[in-house]
Amino acid sequence: MESQLVAFCLLAMTCTLAMAFEPSPLQDFCVADLTSSARVNGLVCMDSKLVQAEHFTYSGLHLAGNTSNPLGFSVNPVTVAQLPGLNTLGIALVRFDYAPWGLAPLHVHPRATEIITVLEGSIQVGFVTSNPDNKLISKVLQKGDVFVFPMGLVHFQRNVGYGNAVSISAVSSQNPGIVIVASSVFGSVPGIDDDVLAKAFQVDKSTIDRLKAQF
């Protein structure tokens, strides 16, 4: 019986560690103290006696973003940086606006799964599975359609209509992070050596230089 109990406890601990990607709250809430310089995995809690409704409220998600940029899209995030009450709750929200044929370029969220809902327009979405398959999973979504991007996989969104498009995404982290593939590879500081990139992409160095000049 004792050995079975030990085995059960180890299994429970393993399952807990596997499921708890972000720490589970140990109190009703932990509103982020954005003024604190303390370094923790997340943000320090402010004194609960000072918490107000405003710490759990964000306004402005109804406003269209500025898509006057080369990619033709904008992002309005509601993460713990904008809504301190999200701290430790493991969730956040993002609004995307797309000009006609606007693109949210290839990117990765290292800490979150994303679920996207189309509010307006027609949006092509897609993600690429990991090696060795590298399979593209893609679909054109219409108003009201929902699609999931698994955590850590390269994905994109593109407006394939001739009018503006809008989508809302929920992510499974208060701070999902974003790695934009092109700017990370060609715009890192300091830059990745041309020889490395040329060999990785099987192109000449002049091509790499032209790509780096864009970032």
107 labelled as ligand-binding?
Answer: yes
Q: Decide: residue 174, CB within 10 A, 0-12 exposed, 13-18 middle, 19+ buried.
A: buried
3-state helix/strand/coil string of 81-129: CCCHHHCCCCCEEEEEEECCCCEEEEEECCCCCEEEEEEECCEEEEEEC
Q: Which residues pair with 123 in a beta bridge?
A: 141, 159
Query: Annotated binding residue at 155?
Result: yes
- State the Cα angle at 91 between 87 and 95, rounded to 5°: 115
Whether residue 109 is annotated as binding a ligand: the answer is yes
Residue numbering of the annotated binding site: 107, 109, 114, 155
Residue numbering of the annotated binding site for oxalate: 109, 114
Residue numbering of the annotated binding site for Mn(2+): 107, 109, 114, 155
